[in-house]
A and B are shown apart, each in its own frame.
Chain A
Amino acid sequence: MADNIYSNNFSSSPTHSDGIPIVLDPNLINLTLPTSSTAASVPATVPTNGPESATEPQPDSAGANSLKQQRTLVNNPYETFGQMPLQQLIPLILQMRGNAKFSDLSEEALVQEIEMEEKGVTVQTEDMDGEIDMGTLEEDQALKPQEITDDGSESRPRTGTENIMSQEQFNQLKRDVLEHINLALNESSLSLEFIVLLLSSVRASVGVNSMSPFLKRSVPPASMNADKIPLQQKSKRDILLTAVINKGWKLRALEEARSLLKDNYLKLEKSLEIEQAHWAIISQHISNSDVIFKMRDRNMGKRSLAIKYGYEDSGSLYKQDRGVAILRHNTEQNKLELVPVSNSKEQVHITKNSVERFMRVHVYTKIEEDDDYILSGESSIDDQSLTQCNLDDIGRQIARLKFFIFERELMYQLKKESAQLISYGVNLENENKIVFESPGEKIEIEMVLLDDNALLSTQDAPRKDDKRANLILILLRMLLVVMHKKQLRYELKPTLTKQKPRGYDKDLILLRPIVGKIRHQNYLKLIEKVVTETVLNKIPNSTINFIPTAEEKDTHTYKELYAAELDKQIALFDKMLTIPKTEMKINLLKKGTINLILKSINYCNAVIQVKYTNFSGEVIFDARFTEYKELEEFLNFIVSEYVT
């Protein structure tokens, strides 16, 4: 192709065509023109005066160019391509495609390109008719009709409505631009050489300095002259012709500008619509109580907004899931999507199964006769609407995510806690199930998949322990909130922050109070049984009374408003968290009294204090027991020695 330009000009000396090193590497030119240039380069391989006739005063590397020329002219590259190993051929092809990456090549694109190339001829004639290429190139020259270039055909099918350019098309356009730039550069440097050569006759220094090395070498300065001739007035027809050309060119440019403007206007309008919809949805669903921050969407690679639905800012130390979701805009459906992001570096796909679980408490009661348990209570789902996964409602989605992450954290903490409670009948049955067994009863805390099955069971007939199961579940959740609040309070104290490692192992009390209360009741029953057997049955008219425990008054005073508020909120649960303690008084009538105190040091164990006071008010025994057998024996001893 490059050859053609000059051969057209110098019809008198067509043999020079091969010798002109156009700025484009002839290798690349030939590569892009598989059909036409092979034909063109065949005569080019028989140069008459070889690269010596390089008439293009290429300023930078005329010598190097002519060397390259010689090599490529002798070896028609097309002959060697067929025998090339792939590892050489592919880089060459890639280079020809404008340094594209191999991964950017796709089979469809190649097939399309080949088709285009086959259609090439017909498409070009269309363009001759003045069909405007609506390409959005910044280079104006590239917009001009490309009758002489065969490889421009690929850019032709592009229309203004097409939004995304493929890598292939981009490379093609880039090549076109480069080609036109080269043409312009060629002309410009040629003119410069000409001017300089003429100028060198008058101003030798200026002329010689501006000359290209090639020209300097081959032509002596001041070897050209110019003379003045009387100015030939332009004919009217010439002037008119110029005017016509101007008009045509301007019309063409206007038309192109119009289509460009229109394209851009449409594009802008579209993106404005998208933006408007996006921010409208965001402002509709996100309030100032939500935590919003900038984040890069790892999947899409775009900047995006993320919302934090986790409880970290509320004092949660749950690190398994940070509770962050990207607000992703779905351009096709023009709506906002909420995509939870996992904490880890790699995007680990969190399956719905592992995420959408909620906690359910089952209470099983033992059937005395056949040593089996029946379900006697089940917690219900408090918010029925959570079960519907409504993708259109961002607020709903956030609520769901919040719910699920809270349930996950609850289970996580419960699992940690239950490890400490293994000696008190708490077992970790599997990763989603904790079982607490007490005499006659079994309580299961389970993470259940939120699906239709889960809903189905709630529609069963009410059972006697349903309320209890619900209360246990509510208590567990509230205790987790208390833990969060305690952590917040802890963080508020500035002096302590660095000294202790973070974490609330010490304060991990969720299941413990519940287990403790249940066990306490069981201990009480045992004690009553022991007392009845050892004392009440033996001594007539003796009675046992429960002494109400005096509540400890909250003596804390807080200066700081926020901390005080926090403390107040935490204090609401103090009663729930106090270690159970029961005092009993056995009145032995004339023989004095026995005071029994059942308490615990860690909620779940039992310490029994026995204090025997005789009639005259003298304390005779004050002993502590942890074993019921010992208690029984001790009570027997008191009764037999002192009372009877």
Chain B
Amino acid sequence: MSQPAALTDPLGSVPKYDFSNVPVQAFDAVRMKLAQLTHSLSKIRDDLSKADLPQWYSLQSQLTVTLTQLSSLNSTLQHFEELLDSTVPYPLPHFPTTAHEGLLTTLMRKKQIPEVEAWIKDAIDHSGIDINNENQEDLEKFIQKDKAITNWALDFINHEHSNYSFQGLYTAEDLSNGAGDSKIPLYRSTTFKTKNVSPFSIDSVLKYIYQGSTNESSSVSE
């Protein structure tokens, strides 16, 4: 360990330690993502704990935000994966280890919580691969094959997706046949016209409303 031999004055002020190996940049990035995620999660929790649930769409958007933050945290962690993997944290002597032993172990915990372990186990069960019995090469082949299938499936789905029109009132087939332009709305708002232009004088309109169309009066059809 690169801890300096600053133990000459153990009872005095905190000795100077060399913190140069703390990956500041990575930690700062992770810290930001974590702060966001924690905030979002606690907001969801508060929303859900209320007697009156918020509208489903607000919950859903909140959740989407949270999931985005989660995946962003994930990619950040992945980005710094090697750096973080090769960094080993440890408490310094002035950490109140005796009073807060539990706190320390909680903070330093690397083991997954049982839920996560169960999920991982479940995932392995679902993969349909017996890790313990298959030999490594078979496994590798299997994974490779799976990747190929996944890519094919992805291509296929993308292709299928492009075959349909998911917006507007026309099907993709209609659009390719030139049946309708999806940019022009099918129904036009009736209020649109009357608000901007007034082709009739108000008097003639009132007259028409009152009299109806008579044979003699052609004045209304101006």
Q: Chain A interface (Cβ within 8 Å of chain B)?
A: 4-6, 8-10, 12-13, 16, 19-20, 23, 53-57, 59-60, 99, 128, 130, 138-140, 144-145, 147-148, 174, 177-178, 181-185, 187-199, 201-203, 206, 210, 215, 218-220, 222-232, 236-237, 240-241, 243-252, 494, 559-562
Are A139 and B105 CB-contacts (below 8 A) given A144-B122, A195-B31?
Answer: no
> With A and B bound together, what is the CA distance between A202 and B109 in angstroms?
22
Chain B contacts of A56 at CB under 8 A?
106
Are A224 and B85 CB-contacts (below 8 A) given A190-B107, A248-B127?
Answer: no
- The reply to whether A189 and B101 contact each other, CB–CB distance below 8 Å, is no
> With A and B bound together, what is the CA distance between A59 and B42 in angstroms?
10
> With A and B bound together, what is the CA distance between A12 and B175 in angstroms?
67
Chain B contacts of A189 at CB under 8 A?
38, 42
Task: State whether the Cβ of B89 lies closer than 8 Å to any Cβ in chain A.
Answer: yes
- The reply to whether A210 and B35 contact each other, CB–CB distance below 8 Å, is yes
> With A and B bound together, what is the CA distance between A140 and B71 in angstroms?
14
- The interface stretch among B43-51, B162-170, B176-184 is B43-51
Task: State whether the Cβ of B204 lies closer than 8 Å to any Cβ in chain A.
Answer: no
- The reply to whether A247 and B129 contact each other, CB–CB distance below 8 Å, is yes
Are A244 and B100 CB-contacts (below 8 A) given A178-B48, A227-B88?
Answer: no
Proximity bits, B84-101, A CB within 8 Å = 1, else 0? 011111111011100111
Q: Return the 3 tightest CB-CB contacts between A and B, nearest first.
A: A248-B127, A55-B102, A248-B123
Are A185 and B118 CB-contacts (below 8 A) given A194-B108, A222-B19, A226-B90?
Answer: no
Chain A contacts of B123 at CB under 8 A?
244-249, 252
CB distance from A605 to the nearest CB of B (A): 41
- The reply to whether A9 and B122 contact each other, CB–CB distance below 8 Å, is no
CB distance from A168 to the nearest CB of B (A): 15
Centre residue among A12, A196, A225, A228 by max chain B CB count within 10 A: A225
Proximity bits, B22-62, A CB within 8 Å = 1, else 0? 11100110110011011001101100110101001001100
CB distance from B187 to the nearest CB of A (A): 16
- The reply to whether B34 and A191 contact each other, CB–CB distance below 8 Å, is yes
Are A195 and B27 CB-contacts (below 8 A) given A229-B86, A248-B125?
Answer: yes
> With A and B bound together, what is the CA distance between A8 and B102 in angstroms?
13
Task: State whether the Cβ of B222 lies closer than 8 Å to any Cβ in chain A.
Answer: no
> With A and B bound together, what is the CA distance between A301 and B196 in angstroms?
38
Chain B contacts of A241 at CB under 8 A?
131
Instruction: Kindly count the residue-residue contacts between A and B in the assembled complex, taking CB atoms under 8 Å apart.
Output: 243
Cross-interface CB contact of B22 among A12, A20, A191, A199, cutoff 8 Å:
A199
Task: State whether the Cβ of B211 lies closer than 8 Å to any Cβ in chain A.
Answer: yes
Q: List 25 A-B contacts (CB under 8 A).
A: A9-B109, A9-B114, A10-B102, A13-B101, A55-B102, A138-B56, A145-B122, A148-B118, A193-B107, A201-B22, A206-B31, A219-B100, A219-B103, A220-B14, A222-B14, A222-B92, A225-B3, A225-B89, A225-B92, A227-B88, A245-B120, A245-B124, A248-B122, A252-B126, A560-B212
Proximity bits, B1-34, A CB within 8 Å = 1, else 0? 1110000000000100111011110011011001
Task: State whether the Cβ of B111 lies closer than 8 Å to any Cβ in chain A.
Answer: yes
- Describe B's contact surface by its main secondary structure: helix
Chain A contacts of B101 at CB under 8 A?
13, 53
- The reply to whether A223 and B92 contact each other, CB–CB distance below 8 Å, is yes
Are A148 and B114 CB-contacts (below 8 A) given A10-B105, A20-B102, A219-B103?
Answer: yes
Task: State whether the Cβ of B201 lies closer than 8 Å to any Cβ in chain A.
Answer: no
Task: State whether the Cβ of B82 lies closer than 8 Å to any Cβ in chain A.
Answer: yes
Chain A contacts of B2 at CB under 8 A?
227
- The reply to whether A224 and B86 contact each other, CB–CB distance below 8 Å, is no
- The reply to whether B211 and A5 contact each other, CB–CB distance below 8 Å, is no
CB distance from A321 to the nearest CB of B (A): 30
Are A561 and B118 CB-contacts (below 8 A) given A55-B105, A236-B136?
Answer: no
Chain A contacts of B87 at CB under 8 A?
226-229
> With A and B bound together, what is the CA distance between A244 and B121 in angstroms?
11
> With A and B bound together, what is the CA distance between A245 and B38 in angstroms?
26
Task: State whether the Cβ of B197 lies closer than 8 Å to any Cβ in chain A.
Answer: no
- The reply to whether A178 and B45 contact each other, CB–CB distance below 8 Å, is yes
Nearest CB in chain B to that of A494: its residue: B210
Cross-interface CB contact of A198 among B41, B63, B89, cutoff 8 Å:
B89
> With A and B bound together, what is the CA distance between A219 and B14 in angstroms?
14
Are A227 and B41 CB-contacts (below 8 A) given A145-B118, A181-B48, A206-B28?
Answer: no
Nearest CB in chain B to that of A28: its residue: B49
Cross-interface CB contact of A185 among B14, B41, B126, B146, cutoff 8 Å:
B41
> With A and B bound together, what is the CA distance between A188 and B87 in angstroms?
20
